[in-house]
Amino acid sequence: MLDTPASSGRAPGATDFAVVTHPALTPDDVRLARLENPGFGRVFTDRMVTIRYSEGAGWHDATLGPRQNLSFDPSTAVLHYAQEIFEGMKAYRLDDGAAALFRPDANAARFRASAERMAMVPLPEAMFVDAVKALVLAERDWIPSVPGGALYLRPFMIASEVFLGVKPSSEYIFAVIASSVGAYFKGEAPAVSLWVSTDYTRAAPGGTGAAKCGGNYAASLIAQAEATRRGHDQVLFLDATERRWIEELGGMNVFFVFDDGSLLTPPLGGTILPGITRDSLITLARDRGLVVREAPYAIDQAQADARSGRLVEAFACGTAAVVTSIGSMTLGDDRFTIGSGGPGQVTGALRSALVDLQLGHAPDPYGWHVRLD
């Protein structure tokens, strides 16, 4: 495997990336063995991208080089004040062997919005996209060919100034790492079960719920652990004010499908992450003539609708899990099944339409599919 694009010393794209040659790339046979069953988030590629920011110099030192440890002073700001954001996106292998991204511009825009909410200096969106493209082009041999396989990309930014004091950092490190992944849920279960948390909430009005920052996920872990302990796959959060209105899962948005064929998803309002998969599915559904409402939906109403047969399908969606059917929910001691308890027709059709666009199997009228050659 060649250490491309080391021959030119620069990575492709408008951003000027210096390329540091990797001293010991993973041998092909070892890499291929790892890709046979990569799991999720355990197998990492050889390289990473880093870009630094400091007041006066701006964003600088854009580098594509070996994946390596980051070293910090104990007083580094991110360790104390949690100025940190990240993104999740995938690169896909096309039938002809090329790689493709899906809506990287949307990830770049959300990354910028997250930075602004966390009082961090935004990375230019074009630079974000260039960084992701540079890493994928260098690491496309790490895209697994297993069903559902992809290269999961994790762009992130941390406050790197060394100081103790409550203020925005004046220095940042942006990086992109990549992980070869298969299916998100083990065993590829036909549907997942949800535990409705009534003790914990994910976000509150005026908080950071719409930002993709680590603190939101840290706050969700205790509720997810409770769901797992009770035998469920995921936790479902309710609003922080009334503890009644459905918001989202620990790391995914949620949709509901009714017996008239319409869909509903909770509205964005600052407490829900604006998922790119969520937005894509809304567009795909409406273009297929389906009615999609972004409206509040109470858990007691979902409970009643499931029992009456009005609620026939539900699914979770996100970059990692793509589209996953929800078979049941448990609220307190009451476990109620949604529809047949397995995948539904609307869920399956929307998932297929989305995946076909991601893999380049269908015409793309939206400009979402970005081929990398």
**Cα distance from N-terminal residue to C-terminal residue, the chain:** 16
212 catalytic? Reply is yes
* Strand-pair category, 47-54 with 58-66: antiparallel
> Catalytic pick from 133, 167, 186, 212?
212
Helix (H, G, I), strand (E, B) or coil at 201: coil
* Exposed e or buried b per residue across 336-366, where buried means at least 16 C-beta atoms within 10 angstroms of its C-beta: eebbeeebbebbeebbebbbebbbbeeeeee
Angle ∠(205,208,209) on CA atoms, nearest 5: 70
Two tokens, residue 168: 């925005």
DSSP 3-state of 360: coil
Query: Rounded distance, CA 182 to CA 90, Å?
Result: 11
Distance of CA 162 to the CA centre of its chain: 29
CA-CA distance, 233 to 222, in Å (whole number)? 14
Measure the CA–CA gap between 91 and 370, rounded to whole angstroms: 9
CA 317, CA 269: separation in Å to the nearest integer?
18
The SS3 of residue 308 is helix
Report the candidate in 23, 6, 274, 4 with the shortest Cα–Cα distance to residue 137: 4
Q: Which residues are catalytic?
A: 212
